[in-house]
Chains A and B, each alone.
Chain A
C-alpha cells in the first residue's frame, strides 16, 4: 500500500512537471526584465526627507501627472522632454546635492532609467531612486 502511494505521488509529480517545463519554455520571455536596483542606489522616503535642502528632487513621471501634483520643489525630468528639462536639473545641481528620482509607484521603471542616464551621461554622483515612488511620498504626507 505504502509503495503504491509513493508510486502515485511520483507519477503525479512527473505529470505536473511536464506541462510546467513546457509553460516555462513558452513564457520564457515573460520573466520580469527589470533587474532589482542595488540597495545602495535606493533611498527611503524618510531618509530622503531628512536630507532637506541637500536633496534635489526629480519627478520622472509624464508632464500631465507632474502638473496634477508633485513633491515640493521637485523638477520634472522625463524621457519625453529629456533634452530641454535636463538643463533645468543641471542648473539647479551643485556638488553637495543628493539627487532623488521618483516615478509613480514601487513597480514603475522610469525613475531607474532616468537615474541611470544621469549617472552615465551626465557623470553625476549621489543619484538615488526613491522606494515606493510618488505613492509612498503621498502616503508619508498623510501621516
Chain B
C-alpha cells in the first residue's frame, strides 16, 4: 500500500472513530412547544435509544432552571433499549419565548454529556403596558393611561378593573382597536403618598379566571 493511501486511511479512521462510540442517540435534542393560553405546563418528551454495543448508565439529568423538572423511568439503558426524558416547564407567570436546557450525563466516555433544549413560546392573554404608573407629589395631576390588549386568539369581550386604594381611581374605555382597552388612572389626593394595586380581570377564561395586576403610586418628589 502506498504511503499516501495509508495516510488517508489513518486520517479518515481518526475522524470517524469519535462518532462510532456515540451510543445514547436522541431523536431530537431540541423541542419547541407552543402552549395554549390555558395550559399550566409545557411538556417535552426527549426520546432516546442505546444504539451502541454496551449498556449505558445515566448518571444525572439536570435542568437549567428550578421551573423545569426532568424525569426518566430508569437510569440504566440496556443495549438496543429505548426510553425518554420528560421535561416539564411550569408556565406560571412566564411569557414569551423560553429556553431551558437539560444536561444529561452518562457513563459513556465517548459522549459523557448531552444538552437538550426545551423551547416554549408562551402566549400572553393580556398585554398590559405599562404595568406601573406614578405621579410625583409636586407635579400636576394628569390622568395616566394604561393600554390593555387581549390576545387575538382569546375570546375576551371585556375587562374589569378594581383599585385597592379609593384615592386612586380607574376608568375603562374602549381602545383604538378590537380587543383593546384604555384604563385612565387618576389620583384624587396628591397631598399624601398612595399606592394602589389595580386588579385587571378579563371575562375569559371563565372556568379558571385569571387576574392581572398593575400598580399606581403617588410618590415623594426627588430628594425627599
Contacts and interface: CB of A to CB of B under 8 A. Distances in A.
Interface of A: 8, 11-12, 15-16, 19, 29-30, 33-34, 61-62, 64-65, 79-84, 86-87, 90-91, 94-96, 108-110, 121-124
Given A8-B4, A83-B213, A90-B195, 13 more contacts: A11-B7, A15-B15, A16-B15, A29-B117, A62-B66, A80-B93, A84-B213, A87-B215, A94-B219, A95-B219, A109-B64, A110-B65, A121-B131
Contacts of A79: 67, 92-94
B64 to A, nearest CB: 8
Interface string B194-211: 010100000000000001
25 contacts: A8-B4, A12-B11, A15-B12, A29-B117, A30-B115, A30-B117, A61-B66, A79-B92, A79-B94, A80-B92, A82-B92, A82-B93, A83-B211, A90-B195, A90-B215, A91-B215, A95-B136, A95-B219, A95-B222, A96-B222, A121-B129, A121-B131, A121-B132, A122-B131, A123-B130
Contacts of B16: 19
The prevalent SS among residues of B at the interface is mixed
B145 interface: no
Interface residues of B, number: 38
Given A29-B117, A95-B222, A8 B215 contact: no
A86 B195 contact: no
Nearest to B99: A33
B195 A91 contact: yes
Contacts of B220: 94
A91 B216 CA distance: 9
Q: Say what secondary structure dominates the interface of chain A.
A: helix
Nearest to B94: A79
Contacts of B11: 11-12, 15
Contact of B131 (A65, A86, A108): A86
B41 interface: no
Contacts of B197: 87
B8 A90 contact: no
B95 to A, nearest CB: 8
Contacts of B128: 121
Contacts of B219: 94-95
A43 B53 CA distance: 51
Contacts of A16: 15
Nearest to A79: B94
